[in-house]
């Protein structure tokens, strides 16, 4: 992108020093004149490292020695306007051509599909692009899609999931068109120059997208800002606003009001929202508000109320008039009770209140009123059997994240859970740290002694990831049930009670035929993983064992051993003496990664491991020889340990050690 005739848009950017060098190259020596250079550097900085903008704008200033011309160019850039026709043609119009080329995402439908879908409103990717200009820098992907959905510019969809999928597709299309950049996980970014062009397009080519954008500029108050009554969207994102005016301009057409990331904002005037009767989106996330005014209840067109990270927010006013509300997001707030009128939100699709303990305010019949709800996240509230029964009747529900008391899951039919695509259900209060993953089918059971009976399996059988903490009755659980869908099993602070399998227990059937990951922590009386008896681990790929004091060997396998392990991690097992007992070299799993920590009695790793790629040995002082030979070391890439351990290893051949020196990396953990 270093020629002046470029017509293709490329969003790759330059560092500040490189940007200045390119600007001077195109503007010439005039840019370094004493009275011009400060302005020239500001103009170069406004180009945001975009080579196309730097090249064209620098060229447009070549030979101009009057300060007034440079001041006017800088002002125009800051106002998101091209300061001359050359800049408009070569920068703004190049980006606009990419904008103009955006195609409708709606696929051609057959006559049968058109009949099925009727005359649903189609999505508008150009409106989605222009909406991105309301954000200053980083744009949270979920937040953006939720706003698009609430505004109706993603088109009409039967479910939130369909709308969300369309949103992801839209973002991908904008990235492919070089109008957005991917930025970290769950964020996208719009280049400063592209944002300027987006605002220029909105102001120049149509009134439909007219917006007020005063984001990220350090505003402390907004009473002096002139707002047109016809403004469509208002953004004061990422400022330092301390207060809002008591009397705001009447804005009967405004559909989005974005005030997030204004931490000093503590209070909203009582009648503030009366000025915005058509609002569909209100975002007050990461503000200091402690309450919302009752005027919020007047917004009968509101689709999305987003209050994430309002740490001081303890209560909401009545919201029963928000009959069109589809998304209520109160993540990381301190709400103490449900707002009055929530049972009237019959169109609510997404309810997100994971941090609030609301169980005392959840009355009988509450969930039955939320018949349209697709996603519920109320992890902070421990729900009883009545609430769980009501949730089971929500036929549109696809995602569920809740905590239950142990009595809620017995003597119930759990087949309704087949409707759920993803869930996290905690039974009891766990002390295990488990990162939140919304894409899994996850169940955590903690401190429940009554789980030895068969009835528990009704719910657990639907999990792909299962965590059992202080769980009584492991043997009966796996003896009487099969968990075909289980991919990962974590057992912590339990006792290994596997003995001779009871007659008629169905032990000929592998209860975990698809298990890929097994994690054992603080498991008492476990001498070997083979103690799990009839568990065959026929698809086990990853094994993690930590602080199992009775463990003496990993597997006591005999002749029929066949576990496709690829990764093994063992830590703090003081009695572990060897890994595989009665196992020939041909039977050692195809392990690629082996991590051993604080195993004081482990002295040998057995036959050479020919598939090993990564080995870590920390505080295993009896291990004096690597499980490798010259013939079997072709795959090893990394060996980690302390320099002291490495220097004390025994070698059959000094050349062999020399060949592996490049693989060794110092590590103490």
pLDDT tens-place string over residues 469-512: 998 878 878 877 889 999 999 999 998 876 544 444 444 678 89
pLDDT tier at 392, thresholds 50, 70, 90: very high
The residue among 318, 213, 207 whose CA lies nearest residue 259 is: 213
Task: Quickly name the fold that domain 125-209 has.
Answer: Arc Repressor Mutant, subunit A (1.10.10)
Rounded distance between C-alpha atoms, residue 552 and residue 565, angstroms: 19
pLDDT at 604 exceeding the cut of 90: no
| Overall size of the chain counted in residues | 669
pLDDT of amino acid 6: 41
Q: Which residue has the higher pLDDT, 216 or 316?
A: 316
pLDDT of amino acid 315: 92
CA 138 vs CA 125, 141, 418: distances in Å: 19, 9, 37
pLDDT of amino acid 5: 33
DSSP string of 63-76? T---HHHHHHHHHH
Q: Return phi, psi of residue 629, to 5°.
A: -135, 170
Residue 443 bridge partners (DSSP): 425, 466
Rounded distance between C-alpha atoms, residue 245 and residue 253, angstroms: 19
pLDDT of amino acid 81: 59
**Could you tell me the two tokens for 587?**
């039977």
**Could you tell me the two tokens for 157?**
């969809």
- Residue for token digits 């689709």? 303
Rounded distance between C-alpha atoms, residue 290 and residue 311, angstroms: 8
Q: Return phi, psi of residue 401, to 5°.
A: -135, 100
**Are 597 and 576 in contact, with CB atoms under 8 Å apart?**
no
pLDDT of amino acid 9: 53
pTM equals 0.82
How buried is residue 156: exposed, middle or buried, by Cβ count under 10 Å (0-12/13-18/19+)? middle
Q: What is the largest CA-CA distance in the chain?
A: 97
**Are 150 and 327 in contact, with CB atoms under 8 Å apart?**
yes
Residue 490 bridge partners (DSSP): 467, 519
pLDDT of amino acid 90: 58
Residue 641 bridge partners (DSSP): 666
pLDDT tier at 82, thresholds 50, 70, 90: low
Q: Which residue has the higher pLDDT, 99 or 638?
A: 638
Rounded distance between C-alpha atoms, residue 379 and residue 182, angstroms: 30
DSSP H helices, 596-640, are: none
**Are 6 and 19 in contact, with CB atoms under 8 Å apart?**
no
Mean pLDDT of the chain: 85
Residue 14 belongs to what H/E stretch? Answer: none
Rounded distance between C-alpha atoms, residue 322 and residue 312, angstroms: 23
Residue 380 belongs to what H/E stretch? Answer: strand 375-383
**Could you tell me the two tokens for 28?**
């010439």
């Amino acid at each position: 992108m270093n020629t002046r005739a470029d017509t293709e848009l490329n969003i790759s950017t330059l560092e500040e020093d490189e940007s200045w060098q390119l600007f001077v190259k195109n503007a010439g020596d005039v840019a370094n004149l004493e009275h011009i250079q400060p302005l020239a550097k500001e103009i170069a900085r406004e180009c945001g490292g975009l080579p196309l903008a730097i090249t064209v704008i620098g060229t447009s200033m070549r030979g101009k020695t009057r300060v007034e011309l440079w001041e006017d160019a800088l002002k125009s850039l800051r106002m998101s306007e091209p300061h001359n026709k050359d800049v408009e043609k070569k920068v703004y119009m190049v980006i606009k051509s990419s904008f103009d080329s955006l195609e409708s995402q709606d696929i051609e439908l057959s006559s049968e599909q058109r009949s099925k879908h009727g005359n649903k409103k189609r999505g508008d990717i150009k409106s989605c692009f222009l909406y991105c200009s309301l954000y200053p820098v980083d744009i949270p992907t979920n937040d953006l899609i939720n706003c698009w959905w609430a505004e109706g510019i993603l088109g009409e969809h039967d479910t939130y999931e369909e709308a969300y999928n369309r949103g992801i597709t839209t973002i991908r299309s904008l990235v492919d068109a070089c109008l957005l950049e991917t930025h970290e996980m769950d964020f996208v970014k719009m280049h400063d120059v592209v944002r300027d062009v987006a605002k220029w397009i909105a102001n120049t080519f149509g009134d439909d997208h007219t917006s007020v954008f005063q984001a990220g500029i350090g505003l402390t108050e907004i009473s002096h800002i002139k707002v047109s009554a016809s403004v469509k969207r208002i953004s004061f994102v990422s400022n330092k606003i301390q207060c809002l005016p008591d009397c705001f301009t009447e804005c009967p057409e405004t559909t989005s009001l974005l005030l997030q990331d204004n931490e000093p904002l503590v209070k909203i005037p009582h009648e503030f929202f009366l000025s915005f009767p058509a609002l569909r989106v209100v975002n007050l996330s990461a503000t200091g508000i402690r309450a919302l005014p009752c005027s919020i209840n007047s917004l009968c067109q509101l689709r999305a109320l987003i209050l994430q990270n309002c740490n001081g927010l303890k209560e909401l006013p009545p919201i029963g008039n928000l009959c069109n509300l589809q998304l209520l997001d109160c993540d990381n707030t301190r709400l103490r009770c449900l707002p009055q009128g929530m049972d009237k939100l019959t169109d609510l699709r997404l309810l997100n209140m994971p941090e609030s303990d609301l169980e005392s305010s959840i009355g009988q019949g509450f969930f039955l009123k939320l018949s349209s709800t697709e996603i519920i996240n109320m992890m902070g509230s421990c729900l009883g059997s009545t609430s769980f029964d009501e949730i089971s009747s929500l036929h549109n529900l696809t995602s569920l994240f809740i905590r239950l008391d142990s009595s809620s899951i017995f003597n119930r039919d759990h087949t309704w859970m087949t409707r759920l695509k993803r869930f996290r259900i905690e039974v009891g209060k766990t002390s295990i740290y488990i990162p939140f993953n919304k894409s899994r089918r996850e169940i955590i059971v903690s401190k429940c002694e009554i789980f030895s009976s068969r009835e528990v399996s009704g719910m657990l059988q639907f999990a792909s990831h299962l965590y059992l903490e202080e769980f009584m009755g492991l043997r009966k659980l796996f003896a009487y049930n099969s968990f075909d869908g289980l991919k990962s099993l974590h057992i912590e602070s339990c006792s290994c009670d596997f003995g001779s399998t009871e007659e008629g227990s169905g032990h000929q059937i592998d209860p975990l035929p698809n298990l890929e990951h097994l994690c054992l922590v603080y498991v008492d009386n476990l001498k070997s993983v083979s103690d799990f008896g009839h568990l065959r681990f026929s698809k086990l790929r990853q094994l993690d064992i930590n602080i199992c004091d009775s463990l003496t060997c990993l597997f006591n396998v005999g002749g029929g051993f066949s576990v496709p392990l690829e990764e093994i991690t063992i830590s703090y097992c003081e009695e572990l003496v060897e890994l595989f007992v009665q196992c020939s070299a041909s039977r050692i799993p195809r392990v690629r990664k082996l991590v051993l920590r604080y195993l004081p009695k482990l002295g040998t790793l057995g036959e050479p491991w020919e598939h090993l790629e990564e080995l870590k040995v920390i505080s295993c002082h009896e291990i004096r020889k690597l499980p490798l030979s010259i013939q079997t070391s072709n795959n090893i890439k990394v060996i980690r340990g302390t320099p002291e351990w490495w220097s004390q290893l025994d070698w059959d051949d000094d050349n062999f050690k020399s060949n592996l020196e490049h693989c060794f990396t110092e590590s103490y953990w």
